[in-house]
Amino acid sequence: MAETITYLESLQRALTQVLDEDPTTFIMGEDIGAYGGAFKLTDGFLQKYGENRIIDSPIVETGLVGAAIGAGMAGLKPIVEMQFIDFISCTFNQLTNFAATCHFRWGQNVPIVVRGPSGGGVHAGPFHSQMVESFFLNTPGIKIVVPATVSDVHGMLLGAVADPNPVLFLEQKGLYRTLKEEVDGPPEAVPPGVARIHRSGEKISVITWGAMLHRCSAAAEKAQNDWGISCEILDLRSLCPLDLDAIYETVRKTGKVLVIHEDNLTGGAGSEIAARIGEHCFEDLDAPVRRIAAMDVPIPYAASLEDASLPDENRILEEIRQLSAW
């Protein structure tokens, strides 16, 4: 029977499903057991699954990922929660120098999922608001996914857990309790590397992922209603691997491209996407590829400054108008 649930509730159901279906899965993280997690995502999990599968850890991200790598190599399927994804920087060596290279170096799978609350929208300042995908995009061997919808956060977690090698799973904490959708039973698993057309259109291709999908949707709706500009929105869902076929298909359809993301502009994933489009679809373009991203500043604490630093609906709408007139 169909029911309306939040992004956070959908993620809870996904974690419950993988724990119920596969006894080799377990979750490690700070305060995830007795306290139920910083966002109460794992509330009740300790009582249901026990301390061998819901493991409260000290504040030691390096130890979490190191232990998960060993457990994965021993045949288990660890899911590591970063209390805030910003702290994944502490684990950079384990992830990039070791976990990401194991399969290449000697055929050893490392089936770990490192997940956590990402991005802004809750005015939590520079240590609790980052999007970290660009830190890892240059590391072969790590897959990176960013679910933007209630159904995707469930299906994509199933796909991440099923993957035999490291997956970085970026959850948008600004959507945890604000985004609601009607669902009818559990979705199918979505493996990394599969994009989805969120909105069909003819004039401009808007390529985005994560929470920006919803700001782009609102802007596209207004552009259609006010100016008759038809925008196609491609939700990448996965940044590594990229669904290049889906990207090129929408570019060739419209000839005009706007890439939008929440991470900083300089060195963000949008740079790579724009470069790929320029290299492979140059003759299909009717205008330069344009990008919208966060300012190149640490995320401010003040609500007004955070809002100003991130792409908003009005800025997206203005870029759509300018690109349409090119």
CATH label of the domain that carries residue 250? 3.40.50.920
Is 28 within a domain?
yes
Residues 68 and 138 in one domain: yes
CATH number of the domain enclosing 62: 3.40.50.970
The two tokens of residue 88 are 């994944």
- Give me the catalytic one of 103, 123, 128, 154: 128
- Cα 228 from Cα 144, distance rounded (Å): 35
Is 233 within a domain?
yes
Is 235 within a domain?
yes
- Its domain, for residue 26, covers 3-183
Is pLDDT of 303 > 80? yes
Is pLDDT of 72 > 90? yes
Is pLDDT of 161 > 80? yes
Is pLDDT of 295 > 90? yes
pLDDT score of 42:
97
pLDDT score of 2:
86
Is 164 within a domain?
yes
Sign (positive or negative) of CA dihedral 307, 311, 315, 317: negative
- Cα 144 from Cα 238, distance rounded (Å): 6
Q: Which of 122-126, 139-143, 286-290 has the lowest mean pLDDT?
A: 122-126
- Within 8 A by CB and 6+ apart from 57, the residues are 28, 29, 30, 63, 64
pLDDT score of 209:
98
3-state secondary structure 126-163: CCCCCCCHHHHCCCCCCEEECCCCHHHHHHHHHHHHHC
What mean pLDDT comes out for the span 197-223? 98
Residues 136 and 7 in one domain: yes
Please calculate the CA angle 38-39-42 and round it to the nearest 5 degrees.
90
Instruction: Determine phi and psi for 4, rounding to 5 degrees.
Output: -100, 125
Residue 293: which of 138, 115, 134, 174 has the closest Cα? 134
Residues 140 and 63 in one domain: yes
Sign (positive or negative) of CA dihedral 126, 141, 261, 219: negative
CB 240 within 8 A of CB 192: yes
Is 232 within a domain?
yes
What mean pLDDT comes out for the span 156-162? 98
Q: 193 pLDDT band (50/70/90 cuts)? A: very high
3-state SS assignment for residue 181? strand
What is the total count of domains within the chain?
2
- Cα 114 from Cα 280, distance rounded (Å): 32
pLDDT score of 292:
98
pLDDT score of 27:
98
Is pLDDT of 21 > 90? yes
Residues 171 and 220 in one domain: no
Which of 134, 155, 183 is a domain's end point? 183
- Cα 310 from Cα 319, distance rounded (Å): 14
Residues 258 and 142 in one domain: no
Residues 221 and 304 in one domain: yes
Residues 208 and 276 in one domain: yes
Is 189 within a domain?
no
What mean pLDDT comes out for the span 39-48? 97
Which of 183, 215, 241 is a domain's end point? 183
As a whole number of Å, the end-to-end CA separation of the chain is 48
Residues 177 and 202 in one domain: no
Is pLDDT of 185 > 90? no
pLDDT score of 121:
87
User: Active-site residue 128, yes or no?
Assistant: yes
Residues 241 and 156 in one domain: no
Is pLDDT of 136 > 80? yes
Which whole-number Å values give the CA distances from 233 to 122, 201, 254, 256, 320, in the listed order?
25, 7, 11, 12, 12
pLDDT score of 103:
96
Question: What kind and span of H or E run contains 197?
Answer: strand 196-199
Residues 24 and 165 in one domain: yes
pLDDT score of 129:
94
Which of 149, 183, 217 is a domain's end point? 183
The residue assigned the tokens 């399969």 is 103
CB 191 within 8 A of CB 240: no
Is 12 within a domain?
yes
pLDDT score of 186:
85
CB 37 within 8 A of CB 44: no
pLDDT in tens, 239-294: 999 999 999 999 999 999 999 999 999 999 999 999 999 999 999 999 999 999 99
Is pLDDT of 183 > 90? yes
Is pLDDT of 1 > 80? no
Return mean pLDDT, the chain: 97
